[in-house]
């Protein structure tokens, strides 16, 4: 599949910060946003860049670059994920931080928006290297982070382990155990029960609310779910539990269609025993990802990367309801 | 004169950070710099960007952007000026911070390199607006600055008044009088005697050392000094005291040539009574800035903006000795 | 009405601190208070006075005086309002802080007593001037205030806006969002729901408890409420909801009597559309404030300024139950 | 002698703060002080009052009252003594703090003015009681004092021992040895050599400067010194060394006159062996303190309490030069 | 009774730390504990010893020795009691701290293990001496203790009063009221309701759970309880309430047997009126402590000192169920 | 040579803390030390033990034990070295810390005494392992160390590199460059010029002073120096410069005798090119270490390990003057 190549292309061709500004402009016009407030919203409150020399396992020092953007703390301490990826750059992080501000505000929770990241390819790094990099990043951002200032969370390629390293390093630097400095930490460090399923459950909840408004009966509807990671697979599981028939699933290795409904539990088991991917799954017919998006379904849930629906394919989508699961805020 | 337009052009056309890297590459090759150290030197240790909403005198809020770059603290707390200018941008500040690292290291003083700035046009702002902006900048950078971390100083369009505001705001935020957080503050706040003349005196000292090595007798040499601000006029004054004949001076409003020597004290008096510029001075013949650079002199001291000697005019310069006064580190 | 003149007179003629001591003496004798404890209770633990130069809108600097008195922290961090008034002085603030200690102790909540104030006339000041004054006061008191030390609250002429300024300035000085440093802040900064109605509801609750003990049936009782600000009007509304007939209300502009009962909802609407005062209200006959206090009612609730019941009028009061709403602690 | 009674009277009858304002008014008029600056100078920047329950040796708790006034920190951290006396009150401390501001400014040293005190009679207290009181005072003032904020010093009835207690308690509260928080501490804690003689030496220096201006030859002049404590006896010793003939000395127990000159070394030895007072000294004729002030001498140095020269006795003074040693700032 | 002599002997003869290691070795073998983790568990993370000069009531200074051991903070801030006893030594405190780690981990609460103590005989000290000693200990351990670091609690010979002194001293040193730094503080300082009964209630709960598993009916069972302090008497009271017949009780002064059941309420009343001991109680026949341990009962609850069941007496014990109440963690 | 075995034996057989107490007892008796002060001096003020899990190069975790003892801070912040050795234990560190107190006091410098160490064999560890161990130790001791609390220094097997790691880690934990937290750091981090030669120069200075008192002429005297590390070789070099003839030198690998004088410069050069030892040096005749100590010389300087002069060999020593260079305080 060309998914990752496409994603890279997207990263190269687009400026996510300018994209954000464009949509903010539309919203500002509709809501007649005060021009002074608008000027404040357009720019991140703070951006911190750091370079981090890290000793690699081969005893050579490699210099990584990291970012943390606090877009706004007007409603409370800022929240937002930290992602590890070769695509991480200033514009992306600035855009995502702004989106976090808007999402927290729309959800009316007392937090501002932030986002961070390190430009690296974690798939090529050892656990020791990732630990040293994460600790270096925490050192560089020790004055940015804080229970009452800015609270990181897992994001692309980071999870409970990275958060645990941040807690440990931050606590060392501050002289006391401070688990509240991140969310998404391991349960035994004070993490929240239910967090790992939270995004998928949220997609389901939003879907149910929308279907009720639209007068759609879940028991009579068919759904396609793009992406089968933490968000997509949980979404599919919850859809199924609500009576929806899941006729298509996909990940970056394969997409499957089954008009009689895919057995999600089986698919999850297969993935878990197959290095985390569904390639080779026998519960449906192989289709392309593009076909999945344009299937004749009632509900389409894109739960992979952002920007999957484009000018090109938008007109071909047949779903009555699209519920975006890819760009959900990491809190 | 087209000086300021030219400067603007320079700012737009060049990437000062890439220029810095080019020269670093040359030096690294010559000194066979370890490749890991080189990778560390290439990137600033830290960059902090902030946006600052400031209430203007017309009661409107305007959002300014500020930067602070700490290039290296390997040899001690970082030092470097804060400039206020419409040209201030990330690349310029990153480049200047690196230069500060190199200069402190070459001078063997126990400091690292930093630089900061605010994108603004101070000539259009009231004192109250400048104070509020400076205090907002200090607030944004309170975790970057510190007696044992990073110490700002005056730079383009900033001086003792701005430093006093920084001391006052920083002291308020830290809960105790902390004059050591900046250099270049007013004398009665603990500033150093002799600081205002220091750069010009340094240009003269460097010139004398070089002339001694070259076997040049000051009493028999002629000099041209470009720029008649704090650096240029003091340089000229000290040259004169050492016996050099100053045959040309200039600023962004005019340039003058006098083969019998310009009376520097008179020129300074004229400038002080003429809104700070020498336009209209009667002590020499009006020439162009370009002519000044290519005069038949022994010593040429460019003490205005950086990058005055270019591929185009380098070949035409006749001075035996060029002593750069424009790019001297602000400490 | 001569209410405000009278209040001023009270302020001038009496020493509220000595008044407090007199009543403390009576209580100490009754409860056989240990003499060493008594000596400690007589004096405030701490008083901080500050003078604050504030830039006014006319660009002149005016010097204001502020106070904060912590009477006792024996039971926990001290609590108490901050008032803005020309009558604010050392003795008043010391007395009110002591009352806060006693009230918190009687209510058995884990707080000590404090009170603060600024000598100023907020009615003559712009919002900008009030903000700068409040921020100056917060700066001066930054070492007194604290979530675990002393927690201000709104009081005479201060409210959620002033508390928001205190939170913002205090958070800036402490380097992290600290909404817990005050109570009475705006809801979206973490303020408590129901706070604005709390004092009036408390007056009602106390009244109901007392009436039950006295065997009085609310449905058969008549009440007069002095004061129609936040305390008085809410008290009246809640009395009405409990079945009491409100036969008289007043504020500093007028007092009304209606033997058939005053429609409180109408009175509140009238006030809201009449610059906050009830002068001109048509729901009752105009009487004097003095007459209101001596009406033939079952319940009298003085909810205006303190010290309304005096040696002179005490003998003429006919109410069976007086519930004081004026001197209720501000938390 | 009625000295102490007189002093008490002075304390009761006068308001030293108003006295200070009167003299400030005169000075402000002469120097055409800007009215806004004048308003700032009139009021202390900060006053902190505390009540301190202290366990006495009889196991009873006694409540003491303490003060610290910071008049101004415009020129640097504030400096000023802490006095222990039954006369200590708000007005006195506010006045003395202002005088410290003026004195530091006139001497052009980078410090502001402060003063503190505790209302107590140290002559009736044990060393243990004084230690507990001093530590309680340090606790109450821990947020006021600071190397870069406000620096206490010995004053009436306090000395190196009290300063050592302050250093110890302050260091404990701050978590590190902080001898710089006071001046006037014992030498082995970092105190300055020569401090105990400094005031007396200063009186002598001022006298010599004035005599030189007046054309008076020390070797031909006679002096009377009022007070024989740390200031007076050192002044007399230094006068003698400069050639002046000391014809009269006094303390609160006696005054002596000797036209042939008093042997100061003998007087000091006598005092040291006589419980610190000169009563019974044989080196001169017993006179009254009033007589001492009006002797026919060239130089009169009042080195006892303030305000010894009054409307009544001023006209009778015959000295050509009066050098005030009583009101010299304690730094 | 020879109980205390025996205890002393135990203290002298055994090394409690080596005892702990022996049991850890057994457990490590059974659970196949990773050898690197085992090495970490074997040693306390930190031990702090301090010597404390304390002024005694006779005005002499006596030097006491104190300890605080933090065994592990892997699961959260460490918890553990502070004991005052002449037997307190490094080995004991290290052993008890380790036990706290294991107990918290087994109970799955987010705390690590610690323990502290002072070598002293509190029975010979006045309240003032104990207060000064406790405050000195708090000063010495101020960097060890902390809400998010290490939290002391009452233990042998310490209780709410000592915890209150720790809170007061710690709050003074940290500059704010910090009741969370200890547990077991007085209720009015924020202590937990029900704490004083908690250990005894826990023994009962554990007993009930075990009896249910063993198929024992409480109403038909007989119990002996060794120790009648806070743990033993509360255990006995709760046993009685659950239907068990308490046939024997004891403390270090006496042991009693009554086959018809001892009236626990009476025994508690007797103890309360008899200086805290049961010697002389008339509700049973006097037996030896050794006899109590080997009575023919269903349940034996040793609630006195640790290590009562030994190689010697273990074989003679007839109880079906032994529930250890002596070594329960102090939290 | 059996030197190191002997040293080990010494470590095992003796309790250096008890040795210190014995000598303190003698001194206390001679100076009639107040018994309360004596009790305070006998015990260290504070001892901190830590266990440190460190990741070794083979990826296994090894647990090391470290100590820091602060004996006294009565005269100022404590000073004392940190040693890395398998012999490091509580008793040794407690003894050495006490010696530091006495030495600083005798030298009348405003410092107290401390000492620390890690039980490890640095000769078997890689630089990376030593760095990780040193950083772990700094973390464990972060609340003990401090510019105004306790200041480590190099000691046995530690030097500028270890101090640099401490500075770096401590600065990271404190959030600012803090080179003052150790002495003995590298020059470019702020270390003192001349420090590496200081101990040897001190031995020479003490020798010269003693010889002057004894009337010995250096030019006519012969010396033997035991030990040829930093102390011994520098001592020998300075002795030579003062005219002494050095007839014997040694280290743990060999001892040499040359009645005509050993050329110290040659010996140093040989050692530098011979892995740091003098074995194989040709400038003298091979003798045993025991012979060196009992040579017929004027001056004997034992500059190797402590306790070289014993009951056994003391009687055989022929030197007129013994100057101990082994036990000199590390500051």
pLDDT at C32: 97
Domain B3-193 and domain B196-322, same fold? Reply is yes
Residue in chain D closest to C139 (alpha carbons) equals D46
Asked if residue B331 has pLDDT above 80, the reply is no
Instruction: Name the interface residues of F facing B (CB cutoff 8 Å).
Output: 171, 175-178, 188, 190
Tokens encoding F272: 């530098």
What positions of C carry a catalytic annotation?
Answer: 115
Of A11, A6, A88, A16, whose CA–CA distance to A52 is shortest?
A: A88
Asked if residue C10 has pLDDT above 60, the reply is no
Pick from F75, F110, F148: which is nearest to D176 by CB?
F148
pLDDT at A13: 52
Q: What is the pLDDT of residues A152-173, one digit of tens each?
A: 999 999 999 999 999 999 999 9
Indicate the pTM of the whole model.
0.89
Q: ipTM exceeding 0.90?
A: no
Tokens 């008497």 belong to which residue?
E233
- B154 — pLDDT class (breaks 50, 70, 90): very high
Q: What is the pLDDT of residues E103-131, one digit of tens each?
A: 999 999 999 999 999 999 999 999 999 99
Tokens encoding C264: 């409180």
- Residue of F73, F74, F75, F76 to mutate for D, most D C-beta atoms under 10 A: F76
Average pLDDT of the residues of chain D: 93
Can you give the residue ranges of every domain in chain A?
44-192, 196-322
State the architecture of A44-192 in CATH terms.
3-Layer(aba) Sandwich (3.40)
- Cα separations (Å) of F249 from D200, F1, F217, F287, F320? 60, 14, 21, 10, 18
Share of chain A above pLDDT 70, in %: 95
Residue of A146 and A5 predicted with greater confidence:
A146
Asked if residue F65 has pLDDT above 90, the reply is yes
Non-local CB neighbours of B253 within 8 Å, separated by 6+ positions: B1, B277, B278, B279
Q: What is the pLDDT of residues D119-149, one digit of tens each?
A: 999 999 999 999 999 999 999 999 999 999 9
Q: Are the beta carbons of D247 and D297 closer than 8 angstroms?
A: yes
The CATH code for residues E44-193 is 3.40.50.10860
Sign of CA dihedral F284, F285, F289, F291: negative
Asked if residue F328 has pLDDT above 80, the reply is no
Of D166, D168, D176, D164, whose CA–CA distance to D66 is shortest?
A: D166
- pLDDT digit of tens for each residue in chain D (331 aa)? 334 444 454 555 578 999 999 999 999 999 999 999 999 999 999 999 999 999 999 999 999 999 999 999 999 999 999 999 999 999 999 999 999 999 999 999 999 999 999 999 999 999 999 999 999 999 999 999 999 999 999 999 999 999 999 999 999 999 999 999 999 999 999 999 988 889 899 999 999 999 999 999 999 999 999 999 989 999 999 999 999 999 999 999 999 999 999 999 999 999 999 999 999 999 999 999 999 999 999 999 999 887 788 888 999 999 999 999 875 444 3
- Cβ-Cβ contacts under 8 Å, E143 against chain D: 175
F3-192 under CATH 3.40.50.10860, yes or no? yes
Q: Are the beta carbons of D174 and D147 closer than 8 angstroms?
A: no
Question: A110: distance to nearest CA of chain B, Å?
Answer: 21
State the architecture of C40-193 in CATH terms.
3-Layer(aba) Sandwich (3.40)
- Cα separations (Å) of A153 from A44, A92, A130? 19, 17, 16
- Cβ-Cβ contacts under 8 Å, E77 against chain A: 176-177
Question: D54: distance to nearest CA of chain C, Å?
Answer: 10
Question: B70: distance to nearest CA of chain A, Å?
Answer: 9
Tokens 């959620």 belong to which residue?
C160
3 state DSSP class of D66:
strand
pLDDT at E1: 34
Annotation says D62 is catalytic: no
Tokens encoding E73: 């903070």
Residue in chain F closest to B149 (alpha carbons) equals F176
Chain-chain contact of B63 with A143 (C-beta, under 8 angstroms): no
What positions of A carry a catalytic annotation?
Answer: 115
Helices marked H in chain D: 3-13, 16-30, 35-42, 90-106, 127-140, 160-174, 195-214, 230-241, 264-272, 289-293, 311-314
- Residue of F177, F188, F192 to mutate for B, most B C-beta atoms under 10 A: F177
Chain-chain contact of A172 with F143 (C-beta, under 8 angstroms): no
Non-local CB neighbours of B25 within 8 Å, separated by 6+ positions: none
Of C148, F142, F116, whose CA–CA distance to E144 is shortest?
A: F142
Q: How far apart are CA B158 and CA B270, in angstroms?
A: 23
Asked if residue C7 has pLDDT above 70, the reply is no
What positions of B carry a catalytic annotation?
Answer: 115
F284 burial type by CB count under 10 A (0-12 exposed, 13-18 middle, 19+ buried):
buried
Residue C82 host element (H or E):
strand C78-85
Comparing A264-278, B22-36, C304-318, the range with the smallest average pLDDT is C304-318
Residue in chain D closest to C37 (alpha carbons) equals D61
Q: How far apart are CA A104 and CA A92, in angstroms?
A: 18
Q: How far apart are CA B203 and CA B233, in angstroms?
A: 11
- Residue of D175, D176, D178 to mutate for E, most E C-beta atoms under 10 A: D175
Considering D103, D115, D237, D245, which one is annotated as catalytic? D115
Instruction: Name the interface residues of E facing F (CB cutoff 8 Å).
Output: 36, 39-40, 42-51, 53, 60-63, 65, 140, 143-144
Chain-chain contact of F142 with A175 (C-beta, under 8 angstroms): yes
Asked if residue F238 has pLDDT above 50, the reply is yes
Q: What is the pLDDT of residues C185-205, one digit of tens each?
A: 999 999 999 888 998 999 999
What is the signed CA dihedral for A171, A175, A181, A186, rounded to 10 degrees? 30
User: For B3-193, which CATH class?
Assistant: alpha beta
Residue C53 host element (H or E):
strand C46-55
Chain-chain contact of B176 with D76 (C-beta, under 8 angstroms): no
- B305 — pLDDT class (breaks 50, 70, 90): confident
| Topology at the third CATH level for domain C196-322 | Rossmann fold (3.40.50)
Question: C110: distance to nearest CA of chain E, Å?
Answer: 8
CB-based touch A/F (3+ pairs, under 8 A): yes
Average pLDDT of the residues of chain A: 93
Tokens encoding C58: 């006319």
A53 burial type by CB count under 10 A (0-12 exposed, 13-18 middle, 19+ buried):
middle
D301 burial type by CB count under 10 A (0-12 exposed, 13-18 middle, 19+ buried):
buried
Chain-chain contact of B75 with F188 (C-beta, under 8 angstroms): yes
Question: D123: distance to nearest CA of chain E, Å?
Answer: 21
Chain-chain contact of E149 with A175 (C-beta, under 8 angstroms): yes
Chain-chain contact of D177 with F148 (C-beta, under 8 angstroms): yes
Of A258, A207, E56, D37, whose CA–CA distance to F39 is shortest?
A: E56
Tokens encoding C37: 């404890």
pLDDT at F13: 52
Q: Please count the residues of chain C.
A: 331
pLDDT at C12: 52
Low-confidence residues of chain E, pLDDT below 70? Answer: 1-13, 327-331
SS (H, E, C) B20-88: HHHHHHHHHHHCCCCHHHHHHHHCCCEEEEEEEEEECCCCCEEEEEEEEEEEECCCCCEEEEEEEECCC
Rg of chain D over all Cα atoms, to the nearest angstrom: 20
pLDDT at A331: 37
Q: How far apart are CA C221 and CA C242, in angstroms?
A: 10
In this complex, which chains have at least 3 CB pairs below 8 Å with chain A? B, C, E, F
Please state the rounded mean pLDDT for residues C153-164.
95
Pick from B75, B110, B148: which is nearest to F176 by CB?
B148
Chain-chain contact of E172 with D143 (C-beta, under 8 angstroms): no
- Cβ-Cβ contacts under 8 Å, C139 against chain B: 172
pLDDT at A195: 86
Of F289, F298, F296, whose CA–CA distance to F316 is shortest?
A: F296
Pick from A43, A46, A62: which is nearest to B48 by CB?
A46
Asked if residue A239 has pLDDT above 60, the reply is yes
Q: Please count the residues of chain E.
A: 331
Q: Are the beta carbons of D163 and D182 closer than 8 angstroms?
A: yes
Asked if residue F116 has pLDDT above 60, the reply is yes
Pick from E51, E140, E143: which is nearest to F43 by CB?
E51
Chain-chain contact of B48 with A53 (C-beta, under 8 angstroms): no
pLDDT at A57: 94
Q: Are the beta carbons of A313 and A293 closer than 8 angstroms?
A: yes
Q: What is the pLDDT of residues E163-217, one digit of tens each?
A: 999 999 999 999 999 999 999 999 999 999 988 899 899 999 999 999 999 999 9
- Angle between the N-to-C axes of helices B90-106 and B16-30, in degrees from 0 to 180, rounded to the nearest 10: 30
CB-based touch F/E (3+ pairs, under 8 A): yes
Considering E29, E62, E79, E115, which one is annotated as catalytic? E115
Of B269, B151, B264, B286, whose CA–CA distance to B200 is shortest?
A: B264
- B2 — pLDDT class (breaks 50, 70, 90): very low
Chain-chain contact of C142 with B173 (C-beta, under 8 angstroms): no
């Amino acid at each position: 599949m060309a998914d990752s190549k496409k994603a890279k292309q997207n990263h190269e061709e687009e400026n996510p910060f300018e994209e954000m500004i464009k949509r903010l402009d539309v919203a500002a016009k509709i809501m007649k946003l005060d021009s002074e407030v608008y000027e404040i919203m357009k720019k991140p409150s703070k951006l911190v860049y750091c370079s981090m020399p890290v000793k690699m396992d081969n005893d050579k020092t490699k210099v990584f670059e990291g970012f943390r953007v606090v877009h706004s703390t007007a409603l409370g301490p800022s929240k937002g994920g930290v992602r590890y990826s070769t695509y991480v750059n200033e514009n992306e992080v600035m855009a995502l931080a702004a989106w976090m501000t808007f999402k927290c505000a729309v959800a009316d929770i007392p937090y501002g928006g932030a986002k961070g990241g390190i430009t690296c390819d974690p798939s090529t790094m050892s656990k020791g290297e990732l630990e040293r990099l994460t600790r270096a990043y925490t050192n560089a951002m020790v004055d940015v982070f804080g229970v009452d200032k800015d609270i990181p969370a897992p994001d692309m390629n980071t999870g409970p382990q990275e958060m645990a390293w941040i807690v440990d390093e931050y606590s060392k630097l501050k002289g006391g155990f401070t688990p509240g400095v991140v969310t998404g930490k391991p349960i035994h460090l004070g993490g929240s029960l239910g967090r790992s399923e939270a995004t998928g459950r949220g997609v389901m909840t939003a879907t149910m609310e929308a279907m009720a408004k639209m007068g759609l009966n879940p028991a009579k509807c068919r759904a396609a779910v793009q992406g089968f990671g933490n968000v997509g697979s949980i979404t599919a599981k919850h859809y199924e539990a609500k009576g929806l028939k899941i006729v298509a699933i996909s990940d970056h290795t394969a997409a499957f269609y089954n008009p009689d409904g895919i057995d999600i539990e089986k698919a999850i088991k297969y993935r878990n025993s197959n290095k985390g991917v569904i390639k080779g799954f026998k519960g449906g017919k192989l289709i392309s990802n593009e076909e999945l998006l344009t299937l004749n379904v009632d509900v389409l849930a894109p739960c992979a990367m952002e920007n999957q629906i484009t000018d090109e394919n938008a007109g071909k989508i047949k779903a009555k309801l699209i519920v975006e699961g890819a760009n959900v805020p990491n809190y």
